[in-house]
């Protein structure tokens, strides 16, 4: 992931825009992506990468945190039930597919700039859409989450 993508993702996690991600912000953002991490493990992750010791994650520390979360596949989404729940966040009409419009709506609601441009959303869908139908089904979503995590949508 390049610096610009990392900065955009940092902005999503930094919900109040103060340049620091608190434990509460981190937990909420991860849960919104379908990633559930135990409190103790979250504390350990923050402690491990919190170089300046302020108990928060700044942009310089965020790269290490992101890498730590995404490199541990069993932590990405715990079980099929949570994976399905994460998929359902995107599949707003419940038809079993994530359309370009649904992706745009969810990314927009998360405050991601990519959600503003339909062409960007179309490109994101194309990256994940293995069967070429222009939408992401549950199996494609599951494969993407296990491989790339939420970053594939950014």
Single pTM value for the model: 0.50
Maximum mean pLDDT: which of 15-19, 26-30, 133-137, 142-146: 133-137
Give the CB-side neighbour count of residue 8, counting CA atoms within 13 A: 18
Q: How many CB atoms lie within 10 A of CB 64?
A: 15
Instruction: Write down the pLDDT at residue 72.
Output: 57
> Tokens in use for 86?
């994460």
């Amino acid at each position: 992931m390049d610096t610009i993508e990392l900065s955009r993702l940092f902005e999503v996690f930094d919900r109040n825009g103060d340049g620091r991600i608190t434990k509460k912000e981190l937990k909420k953002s991860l849960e919104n992506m379908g990633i559930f991490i135990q409190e103790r493990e979250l504390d350990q992750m923050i402690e491990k990468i919190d170089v300046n010791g302020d108990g928060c994650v700044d942009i310089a520390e965020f790269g290490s945190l992101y890498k730590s979360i995404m490199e541990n596949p069993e932590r990405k989404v715990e079980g099929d039930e949570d994976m399905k729940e994460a998929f359902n966040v995107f599949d707003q009409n419940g038809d079993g597919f994530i359309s370009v419009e649904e992706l745009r709506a969810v990314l927009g609601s998360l405050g991601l700039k990519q959600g503003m441009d339909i062409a960007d959303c179309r490109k994101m869908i194309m990256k994940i859409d293995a069967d070429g139908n222009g939408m992401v089904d549950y199996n494609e979503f599951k494969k993407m989450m296990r491989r790339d995590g939420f970053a594939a949508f950014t």
